[in-house]
């Protein structure tokens, strides 16, 4: 459970800040949304 969640965190961040963030908003902004 712990290792799975930890691995999902960085994975989701890259996935979200790519389509969600893009060039409109920074990576840290997309993660907060």
Q: From CA 3, how far away is CA 26, in angstroms rounded?
A: 27
**What integer pLDDT is reported at residue 9 of this predicted model?**
59
- Domain residue spans in the chain? 2-32
pLDDT in tens, the chain (33 residues): 456 555 555 555 555 555 554 555 565 555 555
Phi, psi of 26 (to 5 degrees): -65, 165
Give this prediction's pTM. Answer: 0.15
- 17 in catalytic set: yes
**What integer pLDDT is reported at residue 19 of this predicted model?**
54
Q: From CA 22, how far away is CA 2, in angstroms rounded?
A: 29
**What integer pLDDT is reported at residue 27 of this predicted model?**
59
**What integer pLDDT is reported at residue 8 of this predicted model?**
56
**What integer pLDDT is reported at residue 14 of this predicted model?**
58
Considering 8, 17, 18, 24, which one is annotated as catalytic? 17
Phi, psi of 4 (to 5 degrees): -65, -50
């Amino acid at each position: 459970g712990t290792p799975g969640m930890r691995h999902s965190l960085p994975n989701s961040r890259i996935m979200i800040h790519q389509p969600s963030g893009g060039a409109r908003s920074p990576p840290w902004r997309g993660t907060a949304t």
